[in-house]
Amino acid sequence: MPSDRTSGDRTPIVSGNWKMNNNHFEAIQCVQKLAYLLQKDDFDAVEVTIHPPFTDLRSMQTLIDADQLRLKLGAQNCHPDDKGAFTGEISPVFLAKLGVQYVIVGHSERRESFGENDEFVARKVAAVQKHGMTPILCVGETLAERESGLTLDKVKVQVRSALEKRTSEQVKSMVIAYEPIWAIGTGRNASPEDAQEVIAAIREEVASVVSRPAAQAIRLQYGGSVKAGTIADIMRQPDIDGVLVGGASLDPTEFARIVQYRRHAF
């Protein structure tokens, strides 16, 4: 079900996941430079979210509010429960109080390194929405799964598990990021055509699990070693509504060029 991105309300979204990088001083410098490089037209055309480490969130909230920046504040993770004996975890309640608008859930590094399964990720999706924030649900396959032809099976199961208890209206506001695990931090990435094939299948799965209107409205990102040099070809694909950027988002100049893909893509 390839779709016309320009015909609906699917504003392109570019998200920067800083992972475990940038202390709060470095984060302030990074955001100030990024805000200087981006223009009003960029923010009018593309929604830009930044996802710093938890220790940076208060500084980022203060900076964004004080300077009236149009960047959207995001978090990298949260626990599905509001409170409890979960040492080292972060409640979604805390994030909402800090003005966080987007939360990454189910990132492959959380699934692979910390053993987060589909059921746990689905609980996080529900928790994020419960507190008025938007989940960026990550799905993707390993290299072994890809080479075995299991890519679509893997991502469909992940999508179905996360969405089957969500209403159509809840799903419409979500973001799903397809991030092939084998492409993250490796310098390798899926070709734009391969990414489009998987992302189109994700949209079809959303239609099957939830509804066709939800599938048309939900925004779908590609993530996996995205660079300024590859963004134009990625964003030409009809079902790709944005990108989830890792390492390149740590460089304000490179990240700004990714946000400004329109100058080169069409």
User: pLDDT digit string (tens) for 16-48?
Assistant: 999 999 999 999 999 999 999 999 999 999 999
Q: Which of 107, 109, 141, 205 is catalytic?
A: 107
Q: Is residue 228 part of a domain?
A: yes
6 has pLDDT over 70: no
Q: Is residue 91 part of a domain?
A: yes
Q: Is residue 3 part of a domain?
A: no
Q: Is residue 2 part of a domain?
A: no
Mean pLDDT of the chain: 94
The number of folded domains in the chain is 1
In the block, residue with structure tokens 């080169």: 264
9 has pLDDT over 90: no
Where helices occur in the chain by DSSP H, the ranges are 24-37, 40-45, 57-66, 92-97, 108-114, 118-130, 143-147, 151-163, 168-172, 192-209, 212-217, 228-235, 252-259, 262-265
pLDDT of residue 184: 76
- Give the integer Cα–Cα distance in Å for 93 and 264: 40
Q: Which residues contact 116 (CB under 8 A, 6 or more apart)?
A: 106, 110
Q: Is residue 260 part of a domain?
A: yes
Reported as a pLDDT band with limits 50, 70 and 90, residue 264 is low
Q: With the CA atoms of 75, 180, 106 and 196 taken in that order, what torsion angle do they form, in degrees rounded to the nearest 10? A: 80
Q: Please state the separation of Cα 17 from the chain's center in Å.
A: 8
Q: What is the CATH number of the domain that holds 219?
A: 3.20.20.70
The DSSP output letter for 148 is: T
Instruction: Say whether 179 is catalytic.
Output: yes
- Give the integer Cα–Cα distance in Å for 224 and 32: 25
Instruction: Say whether 119 is catalytic.
Output: no
Q: Is residue 4 part of a domain?
A: no
Q: Is residue 72 part of a domain?
A: yes
pLDDT of residue 263: 85
Q: Is residue 5 part of a domain?
A: no
pLDDT of residue 1: 40
| Structural domain span for residue 257 | 10-265
| pLDDT tens string 94-125 | 999 999 999 999 999 999 999 999 999 999 99
**Range from 128-132, 180-184, 224-228, 255-259 carrying the lowest mean pLDDT:** 180-184
| pLDDT tens string 196-213 | 999 999 999 999 999 999
